[in-house]
Amino acid sequence: MVKKRVPDWLNSSLWSSAPSVDDDRLHRYTSEPAATTSSPEPVVQPPVPVPPPSATTAVVRTESPKSDTRDSRGNNNVTNDDNGTSSGPSAEDVSRQAQLLVELSKKIINLRELRKIASQGIPDGPGIRSTVWKLLLGYLPPDRGLWTSELAKKRSQYKHFKDELLMNPSEISRRSEKAKSYEHDETNKGPLSRSEISQEEHPLSLGKTSIWNQYFQDSEIIEQIDRDVKRTHPDMHFFSGDSSLAKSNQEALRNILIVFAKLNPGIRYVQGMNEILAPLFYVFRSDPDEDNAASAEADTFFCFVELLSGFRDHFCQQLDNSVVGIRATITKLSQLLKEHDEELWRHLEITTKVNPQFYAFRWITLLLTQEFNFADSLHIWDTILSDPEGPLETLLRICCSMLILIRRRLLAGDFTANLKLLQHYPPANISHLLYVANKLRKQPSI
């Protein structure tokens, strides 16, 4: 059997640069914390919102959040001068931002054109990514005239969810008791007698309809949510620390995850959902529009639900072995690699016996949020959310391109070396990564 030839453009050394020896990405996401002797990582600040520019502006100044959200893992995807300062947005970024602003200023937004522009990456302009993501996720309709009423309706609906689902059973019982007291005579306004306390209201009730029994069942999930929320991006002031901003943002993440868990009893909460939620909330909460920023929790909830709808089967353990479960998706990734680079596929899965589940499970379920720094994750999500084929197909192509970019190191490695490399993915040029992923769609190997 003749092996499929790997395209020449994939053999360039550009795709297989070795990580710096000082790069601590190899230690960040290990299952056990690695001992360090260096000083702690600097805490990352969120970007300072600036007023949105006019849609007719030809050249737009941007305040890039990349320098604020970049951690200390040494991923030098932003061109810096000798003094370590940002060289500013490229002409391509300025042009793309202007195109996006023009498109967003239209009365009826052309989603096809918006996807085309955004798929190349959304420049770090003020509030642009926030609006574009809401449109791409279907939260905002293409008709700008409907935005105000649609946002008001959704935000009111989320408030109703919180009022109904985050209430302590004691408060529910108190309100129920107060309502019933109005039906009593003046002489019967005291506490309800034992015989008047319903089965549903009794704290020791084990009935399926008991609000207390449900409350105790939810407690374990809520404790897990609390632990995960506190561990969300500990290197960013926006999510971590004792500041009022961090505590407020943690509370918002907690509320969203609890409401989602209660509204989706088939899935509830699965560890890692906080990592998918974080980029959405960060982008919406950093919107320079004060009303949008204040309503970031509600907006994030609905966009989180929409985003997860394309991946929810991956979080349902009962579906793991089904045609829509996570194992089937990992198999699709394996087949995609075999189609485009059979030599690498054979070396990984047959020669060195590296099961793709060992690394791809996290890549896919967490949408690559743990493999790259925060700013680069946002860039990758621009492409994932923009692709008309759907986020899952795009994600698989990106995962496949991640393997191809480091093929030389993988082909030279054994089981141990390759597993370590894939579980601690090295720094990469994100633009090149997405270019390769797009090549896999447009020009598959024959």
Amino acid 437 reads A
CA atoms within 13 A on the CB side of 412: 7
CA atoms within 13 A on the CB side of 404: 32
pLDDT-derived band at 87, boundaries 50, 70, 90 = low
Of 81-85, 126-130, 376-380, the least confident: 81-85
- Contacts for 105 with CB less than 8 Å, ≥ 6 apart: 55, 56
Domain over 316-442 is classified CATH 1.10.472.80: yes
DSSP letter string, 16-40:
GPPPPTT-THHHHT-SSPPP--SPP
What pLDDT is stored for residue 296 in this prediction? 98
- Distance CA(131)–CA(26), nearest Å, equals 35
What pLDDT is stored for residue 8 in this prediction? 55
Q: Are 356 and 410 in contact (CB under 8 A)?
A: no
Provide the CATH number for the domain formed by 148-180+202-308 in this structure: 1.10.8.270
In tens, the pLDDT along 166-215 reads 876 555 445 445 544 545 455 555 554 444 545 555 454 445 555 555 66
What pLDDT is stored for residue 429 in this prediction? 95
Domain boundaries, the chain: 46-75+89-136, 148-180+202-308, 316-442
DSSP letter string, 316-349:
-GGGTTSTTSHHHHHHHHHHHHHHH-HHHHHIII
- Distance CA(46)–CA(153), nearest Å, equals 29
What mean pLDDT do residues 26-50 have?
39
In tens, the pLDDT along 382-415 reads 999 998 888 999 999 999 999 999 999 999 999 9
DSSP code, position 15: G
- Length of the chain as a residue count: 446
What mean pLDDT do residues 241-257 have?
96
- Contacts for 189 with CB less than 8 Å, ≥ 6 apart: 181
What pLDDT is stored for residue 393 in this prediction? 92
pLDDT-derived band at 311, boundaries 50, 70, 90 = confident
What pLDDT is stored for residue 72 in this prediction? 36
- Distance CA(145)–CA(150), nearest Å, equals 9
What mean pLDDT do residues 89-112 have?
92
Mean pLDDT estimate for the chain: 78
CA atoms within 13 A on the CB side of 421: 24
- Distance CA(286)–CA(2), nearest Å, equals 53
In tens, the pLDDT along 127-168 reads 899 999 999 999 999 999 999 999 999 999 999 999 999 876
Q: Are 299 and 287 in contact (CB under 8 A)?
A: no
3-state secondary structure of 90: coil
What pLDDT is stored for residue 209 in this prediction? 53
